[in-house]
Amino acid sequence: MTSLSKILLGGRLEPGVVADAERAGFVKVDDPWHQYTAFFLRLVAATVVATAGIAADSATAVIGAMLLAPLMSPMLGAALAAALGRPAKTLQTLALTLVGMAVVVAVSACVTAIVPVAIDLSTNSQVLARISPRLVDLIIALAAGFMAALASIRRDIPGTAPGIALSASIVPPLCVTGAALFEGAPDAALGSFLLFVTNYVAIQIAGTAVYLAAGLGARKFSVVEGKARELWYISVGIAAAVVVALLATTSMGIVHENEQLRIAQDEVGAWIEGSDYRVSRFELEDGELRLEIAGSERVPSAERLNKALLDAGLHLDELSIAVVDEQRIVNTP
């Protein structure tokens, strides 16, 4: 036993802990009716709660759904089965994850169709938080996956489970995917699905690192088992490289959008400074800036604002300014 494994395990691996982890991760299915029915009933319930919470823009409901959702179990099971050199079980847990994903997307689309509250994908905070994943989301998922894997092979840290469920964004992004597909918003669906894939890949990386460091992959494998495990790790590595590239692109896009927003706000503020006008509406989206200003004096020059924006490096496709004549009556005693 290495020093690293002693640190991870807090000593030696406890008897029976691997068997418990296998059963929890569906690597070992010895009571399929109980294991699978519990999994899918929890998954459907979590999906309904999460989708309804998203529709209502309720963070509390979404958090409750994250605590209910069991989808991390087979995701960790795949990492455990790969570390143990069991390719058939790795594919079995992957298949269960794929079926679970399909169930979540389908149920969320159905819930979106019947809930009385329409989901506004452009303003809903629960949607917006999940359709533009960034590199920081990968970091969060790696940490959550690390603790989830560690908790599965240490009986003395079960209290981390709720925190892990909240940290790893698994079911809510799939719910957003289903809702977005129903609403006809493929870009939002792709963004939220990328967040789920990010979490899946991160859990495979972190879980594999923990299980191998703990010594679970120390036994000798057959040629077939060894090659299958190498192939799985190579596939995860390629997926990780693709995810990082996509997240880097998304992150840079968010940084660019924030910089454009800052420039626009600064220039608009300078434009109306000293006048009687105030900004009553400000929207910057897809290269279009839509303003509404209210006041009663001479209207500031739109051409001057456009030139100031261009000089500041913000090239707009369209600048739209609506002017509201604001009448003010001041009553004095």
SS3 assignment for 205-247 = HHHHHHHHHCCCCCCCCCHHHHHHHHHHHHHHHHHHHHHHHHH
What is the structure's pLDDT at 165? 58
Query: Considering only CA atoms, which of 149, 141, 127, 7 is closest in space to residue 77?
Result: 149
* Cα dihedral 282, 249, 63, 127 sign: positive
Please name the amino acid found at residue 67: L
How buried is 16 (Cβ within 10 angstroms: 0-12 exposed, 13-18 middle, 19+ buried)? exposed
User: DSSP code of 132?
Assistant: S
User: How many degrees, rounded to 5, is the angle at CA 136 between CA 135 and CA 137?
Assistant: 90
Predicted confidence at residue 332, as pLDDT, reads: 63
Q: With contact defined as beta carbons under 8 Å apart, do 213 and 225 qualify? A: no
Q: Is the pTM of this model over 0.85?
A: no
| Three-state SS at 293 | strand
Please, are residues 51 and 107 in contact by the beta-carbon 8 Å criterion?
yes
So what's the pLDDT on residue 77? 94
Q: What is the mean pLDDT of each run of 10 residues along the chain (333 residues)?
A: 78 84 92 94 95 91 87 93 92 96 96 83 86 90 90 76 65 94 92 94 93 82 80 94 92 86 90 86 85 84 88 87 75 64
The residues, ordered by sequence, that sit 6+ positions from 69 with a Cβ below 8 Å of its Cβ are: 42, 43, 46, 47, 50, 165, 170, 171
Give the pLDDT confidence score for residue 229 in this predicted structure: 87
Measured CA distances, 16 to 81, 184, 214 (Å): 16, 49, 15
Contacts of residue 171, Cβ cutoff 8 Å, sequence gap at least 6: 43, 46, 47, 50, 65, 66, 69, 71, 104
